[in-house]
C-alpha cells in the first residue's frame, strides 16, 4: 500500500528571525512511518524541519516541510496519485499572524511596516492571530479513495471530552478515523471511528491497528 505520514510541527513566521510553532518532536509520526515501512508498505514521511526526535527515519521517501502552507502544498502535490492511506499526525499550527502593530509611547497603535527583523526598540509589538485553515478538512478532496486518519490531541477536559472531539473531527473532515491522545485523554491512545472506539495502552499496539486497517 502507498501511505503518507505527516509528523512534527509546522511554524508561522513573524519575521525572518522569529516564529510561532507547536510543541512536537515528530516522534509518533516517524515511528508510525517506520512501522509501516517495516511491514512492506511504501511510505512517504512528511516531517517538519523543527522536529527534534533523533530516531532513524526508515520511510522510503522523506520530505521536509516548514510552514503550514508548505505542508499543504506538499500534500496537495500527491493529489491524483495512487495513495491508499494518509496518517495526518503533524502538529499543525492552529494560528498564524494576521495584522501587526507597534504600540508607541502614548499607547497609540501604528501598523507595523514589514521588516526582515522587527526591532524591539520600536515599542511594544501587538499582533492579531487568525485561525489557520485546517489541512485535514482538505484531504478528502485530494484523496477521495484513501483511508484518512487524523489526530486529536486535547489538553483540557477529560477522556469523554477528547473522544467527543475526535468524533466531531471525523464528521467535520470526512475522515475514516481519528487517534485521540493527550492530557485530556490520559495514558495511551484511542482509535476512534464514527461507530466505535478502542483503547491502546502503547504506540506499538496502536500502529498495528492502523496498519491492519490498510491490510498491514
Cell triple for 73: 502544498
pLDDT string in tens for the chain (216-residue length): 999 999 999 999 988 888 898 889 999 999 999 999 999 999 999 999 999 999 999 999 999 999 999 999 999 999 999 999 999 999 999 999 988 998 877 778 888 877 889 888 777 889 999 999 899 999 999 999 999 999 999 889 999 999 999 999 999 999 999 999 999 999 999 999 999 999 999 999 999 999 999 876
- Given a contact cutoff of 8 angstroms between Cβ atoms, the answer to whether 7 and 44 are in contact is no
- With contact defined as beta carbons under 8 Å apart, do 131 and 97 qualify? no
What does DSSP say about strands 11-13 and 19-21: parallel, antiparallel, or unpaired? Answer: antiparallel
Cβ neighbours of residue 4 closer than 8 Å, sequence gap 6 or more = 43, 44, 46, 75, 78, 83, 85, 86, 87
**Can you list the domains of the chain with their CATH numbers?**
2-94+133-212 (3.40.50.10300), 96-130 (no CATH)
Amino acid at each position: 500500500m502507498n501511505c503518507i505520514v505527516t509528523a512534527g510541527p509546522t511554524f508561522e513566521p513573524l519575521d525572518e528571525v522569529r516564529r510561532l510553532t507547536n510543541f512536537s518532536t515528530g516522534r509518533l509520526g516517524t515511528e508510525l512511518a517506520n512501522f509501516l515501512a517495516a511491514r512492506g508498505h511504501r511510505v512517504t514521511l512528511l516531517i517538519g524541519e523543527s522536529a527534534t526526535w533523533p530516531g532513524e527515519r526508515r520511510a522510503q521517501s522523506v520530505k521536509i516541510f516548514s510552514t503550514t502552507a508548505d505542508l499543504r502544498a506538499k500534500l496537495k502535490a500527491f493529489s491524483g496519485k495512487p495513495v491508499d492511506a494518509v496518517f495526518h499526525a503533524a502538529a499543525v499550527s492552529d494560528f498564524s499572524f494576521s495584522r501587526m502593530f507597534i504600540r508607541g509611547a502614548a499607547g497609540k497603535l501604528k501598523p507595523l511596516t514589514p521588516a526582515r527583523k522587527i526591532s524591539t526598540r520600536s515599542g511594544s509589538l501587538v499582533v492579531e492571530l487568525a485561525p489557520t485553515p485546517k489541512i485535514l478538512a482538505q484531504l478528502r478532496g485530494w484523496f477521495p479513495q484513501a483511508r484518512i486518519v487524523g489526530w486529536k490531541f486535547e489538553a483540557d477536559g477529560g477522556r469523554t471530552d477528547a473522544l467527543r472531539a475526535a468524533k466531531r473531527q471525523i464528521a467535520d473532515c470526512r475522515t475514516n478515523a481519528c487517534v485521540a491522545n493527550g492530557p485530556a485523554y490520559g495514558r495511551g491512545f484511542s482509535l476512534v471511528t464514527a461507530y466505535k472506539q478502542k483503547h491502546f495502552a502503547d504506540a506499538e499496539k496502536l500502529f498495528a491497528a492502523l496498519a491492519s486497517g490498510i491490510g498491514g
